[in-house]
A and B are shown apart, each in its own frame.
Chain A
Amino acid sequence: MASNLFSRLIFWPRWFWRQLTSMRTALFLLLLLAIAAVPGSVYPQRSADPNGVRIFFDNNPDIAEVMDDFQLFDVYTSVWFSSIYILLFVSLVGCVFPRTKVHFEALRTQPVQTPQNLKRMPVFQKAQGQAGYLEAALEVLKSKHYKVAMHQDSVSAEKGYIKETGNLVFHFSLIGVLIAVGVGGGLSFSGQRVLVVGDSFVNNLASYDSFSPGPFFDEAQLEPFSVRLDDFQVLYDLQNPNNLGQPIDFIASVTSEGKSSEVRVNYPLEAPGASIYLTGNGFAPVITVFDGEGNVAFSGPSVFLPQDSNMTSLGVIKVPDALPKQVGIIAFFYPTAEQLESGAYTSIYPDPIDPLMTMNVYSGDLGLDEGVPKNVFALDTENLEVVASRDGPNDPIQLRIGETVELPNQLGKVRFDGLLRFASLDVAYNPGGIWVLLFALLALFSMGLSLMTPRRRIWVRRNKDGTIELAALARSDDPRLEEVLVEIRTVIESKVGSK
């Protein structure tokens, strides 16, 4: 009774395990994984396109909530996607370990016994019996790197164990890839920092604009190097008429630890414990604001965000120290300005050939004292008084480099001092990368080996009546099987004949 209960208790787990590690399940899970990956390419993902997710939420607030419950904006870290690949890898482990054991045994033991009925093999031939045929066969097969065994009246040989070896190494490498991805991701970090030409930053948490660490990241990992942006060059195509204004190259000249070097797209800078990538660029106009009492209330470069391929740029300047009233400015910068019929401006070329800045000016309480962090690239104008804008009481301010213009309502003056560029740098570190690569290459190599080498068994038997039977069997698709047997037979027979 007890043993019965016991066998019942282990029956289900065992049955389940056997199902999970069957080839059919592996196949099913692979296809499921492929299907499960699709939604992540249809809907914006938080990891790759957070802005897209925000826009999706704005456009479809109701469905978005529901979709979010199903983790459709985080597909690749979702419970359901993770379950599929974890199950797949559990299946993989359960499948590969027993096969490794079997394979090791096969490597150590002799080729299988010659089957009774060779006629049933896919390739079968009869030959004239001659003395020494079996011995010659043994020798020939051995010289062709078959593993051979002499039985009473037959020779059995096998070749191509490397096929299974390659297959197993391949599957183990996949486990290696997964572990390297997981561990590497855990220890990784990436941080973003915008640098205006002339500025520098030191590699510590406080100096990043945004920072995303992996779960095992430790602040001590950050090596204290510093980077200064000395110069930033953008080369545009000036030569080919229908390609005008296409960027040819972005070059950030930097000094790090006393050494100067370049960071370009595709060519990151190797810093101690991290690589530095160039991921964006734009203009940082230098502006000075004098308040109504004549004091310098603001001065310096401001990062303007590019809005289109001709680098129309948008910046926000907040001047909380201005007296008598706080001043907020939304500024547009046009590197090569052209006026549209509507009176608005646009930029027609990305390099500053005819630069112009226009400003919408607001005054009132900027709301910076409430302790709520504010987006530096946005100005909440709801509670502000419009001082100058296209549909305000005064026209927008227009400024060219070097000009100073009075603000309306005795708010003060603004001066456009000059123009700098900024570069967005990503600092990233992922120690898993190299291991992922190594395991992936190992997988590629072993898979190639496995798929390209055939595994063959060959038998030669002397019958009671003295005639010879030869047969061959392939363990996989093998179009050359028959040819190979004929070749071997020819060599054997020439050998026997020459004795």
Chain B
Amino acid sequence: MDSPLLPHGVKRCTPGVFFLWTLPWLALLAWGGLSAVLCLWKGLNQTNMSNVFAFALWIVFDLAVIALGAGAFFTGFLTYIVGRKELKSIINTAVIIGFICYSGAMAMLGIDIGQPIRGWFIFWHANIHSMLVEVSFCITCYLTVLAIEFIPIILENRKIEKVKELRLLGHNLHEVMAVFAATGTFLSFFHQGSLGGMFGVMYARPFAAREGFYIWPWTFFLFVLSAIACGPCFTILCTKLTEFLSRKKLVPDDAIQFLAKMSGWLLTLYMVLKTLDYLGWIYGVVPRAGLTFMDFFNEGPYGVWMIIVEMVFCGFLPAIILMTPAGRKSQGWLIFASLLNCTGIVLNRFLFIIVTLAVPVMPFDRFWGYLPTWQEWGIGLAVIGYGFIVFSLAYRYLPMFPKETALNPLPVE
């Protein structure tokens, strides 16, 4: 019944089945919606955040999805600036994922601040010294860029395409897409970086402090690098999931393999630098603060094991798998490695946010624990629900995978 809206020459499930598929995600959205109303109406006392855990689950989600969404700008960069034609078959997916991640993050931030109505003060009373201001500016601009990148894909919808002006608009946008890709790349570089900077500049928080690379905290570069190292893997994972659910091949291997290879390289480079980072931190920053590495872990649930997991299992291991052709060519290993890679980055963000705040700086202060409330989970998970829905709609109604028809010719009746 919605067949006139579906792309040409593709097979989609019936509206009924599609509706059933969206139900769980709509449920998550409802849960999140309720939580959001409570937090905005009754205030942030609905959460388990505190003066100790000023940042918590939501910020972890924010930083995680923004890192994972980095596939968008990086793929865009490779496609339009570097000119890797094979990526055209996956760029749409990357863009949509990016859009979902960034819009989701923005929504969460809107609820996270105590005075949402004053949110715009960030721009009006901007403090140029604040990394968070840089983040806010870049993310907002980049979200617009993503929207613009998203539009042509929407305009390719079979029905909309019928409107001549819109078809033209879409076509012209395609022509200039390189410009936006470049802008996006530029913006992303800076906000991914300043996200890292946010924590590196906290020079009075020895667990996070990373100052000393000229004017920059070096987490700036580590965050950029880790983001573009995991972003592509996340794009791959989403694609693979879609292929698995739709039981058909949607993206040619060359695209996937190229992304995987890039990820491999970048992750390897990142792991080298991250190792240096830890060494520089353990032997530079930490002793300067009068602490030893182990001092951070003598209380509470967070232990050295987290760092080992981050570095070894979710760092070097996937790096090696992705670097070895055999590894990334095998479907199973590729997915496994991508999963580890993404997990590692999320874990890294978790360390920088939660553990930084959990560890007391004053020797006589004590360690604090934190568990999110259902309201916090609700809002966090709603972003996932939202992601699935937007992604599913896009897959159903838009030619998200240009090669889909070629790879899956319909039987002629």
Q: Do A and B interact with each other, yes or no?
A: no
